[in-house]
């Protein structure tokens, strides 16, 4: 049985950009719901004691394990998303990651514009990611529960663009939500740690 990873901050710590009300629903209902579903699906199977990553990789693409993959990937994605943010976030990355972003996009503002555009271009529910693959940075968008792990890529940070991530605070204004994520919430230290541990 897998346990729900604790939030890395209090539920009111991301306000006013993401409200405590949103986290009450998003973390306590949606994230916990995926975990509860997953634990039911793996109970009594060979996956009952497996790591989350093993469940994801071994259920991916299997027609008889679609539910298991979707719930496992959503548990992973959400935990990663919480860590992709911090109170008083935003600003700029430093060190090797900033250098690589500048090499790839020219400057941080151009990256931010491309990240926002990718998040807006994700039709329906999904995620937008900064990833590392084959030594190169890029922006990836994925639908539903899909994630970089099953595409041979390393996730550095993510923004959840499912409507439940932002609708209470921003209604249909996804672009404003992603803008605030980049300006005031993104945890560049987390992204930098992920980058530096994979180069």
Which residue ranges are tagged as binding site?
Answer: 26, 78, 160, 164
C-alpha 112/C-alpha 136 separation (Å) is: 17
* Tokens coding 182: 């980049």
Closest-CA residue to 89 (of 160, 21, 30, 18): 18
Rounded (to 5) percent helix, strand, coil in the chain: 55, 15, 35
Give yes or no for a contact between 99 and 166, defined as CB atoms under 8 angstroms apart: no
Longest CA pairwise span in the chain (Å): 51
Annotated binding site for Mn(2+): 26, 78, 160, 164
Strand order in the sheet with 136-143: 136-143, 126-133, 154-160
In three-state secondary structure terms, 16 is coil
Do residues 50 and 42 make contact, with C-beta atoms less than 8 angstroms apart?
yes
User: What is d(CA 145, CA 160) in angstroms, rounded to the nearest whole number?
Assistant: 10
């Amino acid at each position: 049985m897998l346990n729900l990873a604790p939030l890395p901050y209090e539920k009111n710590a991301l306000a006013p950009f993401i409200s405590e009300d949103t986290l009450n629903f998003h973390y306590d209902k949606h994230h916990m719901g995926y975990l509860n579903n997953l634990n039911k699906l793996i109970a009594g199977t060979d996956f009952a004691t497996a790591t989350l990553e093993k469940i994801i990789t071994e259920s991916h693409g299997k027609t008889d394990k679609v539910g298991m993959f979707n719930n496992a990937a959503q548990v992973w994605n959400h935990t990663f998303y919480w860590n992709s943010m911090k109170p008083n976030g935003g600003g700029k990355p430093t060190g090797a990651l900033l250098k690589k972003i500048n090499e790839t996009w020219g400057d941080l503002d151009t990256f931010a514009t491309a990240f926002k555009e990718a998040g807006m271009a994700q039709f329906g529910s999904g995620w937008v990611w900064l990833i590392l693959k084959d030594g190169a940075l890029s922006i990836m968008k994925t639908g539903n529960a899909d994630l970089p792990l099953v595409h041979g890529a390393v996730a550095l940070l993510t923004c959840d663009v499912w409507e439940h991530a932002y609708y209470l605070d921003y209604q249909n204004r996804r672009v404003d939500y992603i803008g605030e994520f980049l300006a005031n919430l993104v945890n560049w230290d987390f992204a930098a740690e992920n980058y530096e541990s994979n180069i």
